[in-house]
Structure 1
Amino acid sequence: MKNIVLFASGNGSNAEEIIKYFKNSKNAKVVALFSNKSDAKVLDRAKNHEIPSVVFNKAQLNEGFVLEQLHQFQPDLIVLAGFLLKFPESILKEYPKVINIHPALLPKYGGKGMYGMNVHQAVLENKEKETGITIHYVNEHYDEGEFIFQKSVNIEDCKTPEEIAQKVHELEHLYFPEVIANILMSSRAESRG
């Protein structure tokens, strides 16, 4: 059984979709949720699914507290599902399998400050005909890790960033759990080979 640890900062709709996807899986399960916001709705979502949560602040992320807590859950994969802080190199050294989802077709609309509605607003202002999602490995730079998966969606009919966000959320909910499952299956095959 592979252990998944989620990191999230906000509402947590992606985190909940991942939790539900793996709830009855024989291959993997979500073992913990880590959040840097004590009032994040994602904590309620985790509690409703009986997933333990760890709440921390930015200093604790960078000073070893989060790394110590991660050791207890022995993650095979760490998934950033709407996590807004830069992920520290100290954790990446010990847990190199960290993935993130970005609400645009990277390398466009990536980097510091490009998250959530900021991305959708920029996409709208630039009159893009399409946008989408990018799932990628996390490295020491924002949104620059190796791409794993991209999916685009036509947004020519969208008039607001909220309409774009809705289309992007649909892609995220549909594909993110499947991509996670595929990564875990391929790592299982590698460990057997």
Structure 2
Amino acid sequence: MKLGFLASHGGSAARHLTAACRGGRLDAEPVVLVSNNSRSPALLWAREAGLATAHLSGATHPDPDDLDRALLDTLTQAGADTLVLSGYMRELGPRVLTHYAGRVVNIHPSLLPRHGGRGMYGDRVHEAVLDSGDTESGATVHLVTQGIDEGPVLAQARVPVQPGDTLESLKARVQAVEGDLMLRAVRDLGRVPGA
């Protein structure tokens, strides 16, 4: 697999998977990271890690159709055949989704389908879990489709919601399982014939 990453901020999944590739734990090659945020720490990290990088956003391409085309061109020119959303805070356009159908993965900080959908990201998800009274939370890796957080689930990791949990304590417990969950899901995706 040739991995392309899309990140808006720190890109923790991109960092974890790149380290796994270079450490021999994942049979894949990281090739490119694209961010919609020109000040993203992930862009600086990716440059230093030797990946191709690009900043593509509404600032560089005000027309969504042009942005979709530019993103697809950048990813395919870099040779990416599998996309990993690493905290990417934008919806993908139809060209990218069609070209990479069945090969785009995202991680969500809850047990989908609970606490997913439009507007449910980051701390909002953990707040919703705590407000709901759920006794467990976790993380879900899923295939990305046109609907927000609606694609097929590839893997989940569960963590308990403990009495007295705060947003920060629950978030830390969920984040602790995300890297290896994403690694397992991407490794399994690479074994799917014709995927």
Q: Tell me the TM-score normalized by structure 2.
A: 0.89
2:32/2:80 contact within 8 Å kept: no
- Residue aligned with 1:57, SS: coil
Q: Residue in 1 aligned with 2:73?
A: 68
Aligned length: 187
Q: Residue in 2 aligned with 1:4?
A: 3
Mapped partners of 1:179, 1:158: distance in 2: 31
2:156/2:181 contact within 8 Å kept: no
Q: List gaps (5 residues or longer) in structure 1.
A: none
Q: Residue in 2 aligned with 1:28?
A: 28
Q: CA RMSD in A?
A: 1.7
1:79/1:99 contact within 8 Å kept: yes
- Residue aligned with 2:186, SS: helix
Displacement after TM superposition at 1:13 (Å): 1.9
Aligned partner letter, 2:94? E
Q: Quick check: 1:99 aligned with 2:98?
A: no
Displacement after TM superposition at 1:27 (Å): 2.8
Aligned partner letter, 1:4? L
Q: Residue in 2 aligned with 1:155?
A: 161
Counterpart among 76, 83, 90 of residue 78 in structure 1: 83
Displacement after TM superposition at 1:170 (Å): 0.8
Counterpart among 126, 135, 141 of residue 129 in structure 1: 135
2:135/2:162 contact within 8 Å kept: yes
What is the CA deviation profile of residues 83-106 of structure 1, one whole-angstrom value per residue up to 9, with x for unaligned ones? 111111211111111111111001
Question: How is 1:11-22 mapped onto 2 (pairs within 5 angstroms)?
Answer: 11-22=10-21
Q: Residue in 2 aligned with 1:89?
A: 94
- Percent sequence identity over matched residues? 29
Q: Residue in 2 aligned with 1:46?
A: 46
Displacement after TM superposition at 1:48 (Å): 2.8
Mapped partners of 1:124, 1:107: distance in 2: 16
Which has the larger displacement, 39-48 or 63-72?
A: 39-48
- Residue aligned with 1:171, SS: helix
Mapped partners of 1:111, 1:11: distance in 2: 22
Structure 1 stretches of 4+ with a deviation exceeding 6 A read none
Mapped partners of 1:61, 1:17: distance in 2: 30
Which has the larger displacement, 20-29 or 119-128?
A: 20-29
Aligned partner letter, 2:46? A
1:117/1:161 contact within 8 Å kept: yes
Higher share of residues assigned helix: 1
Q: Tell me the TM-score normalized by structure 1.
A: 0.90
Mapped partners of 2:21, 2:129: distance in 1: 32
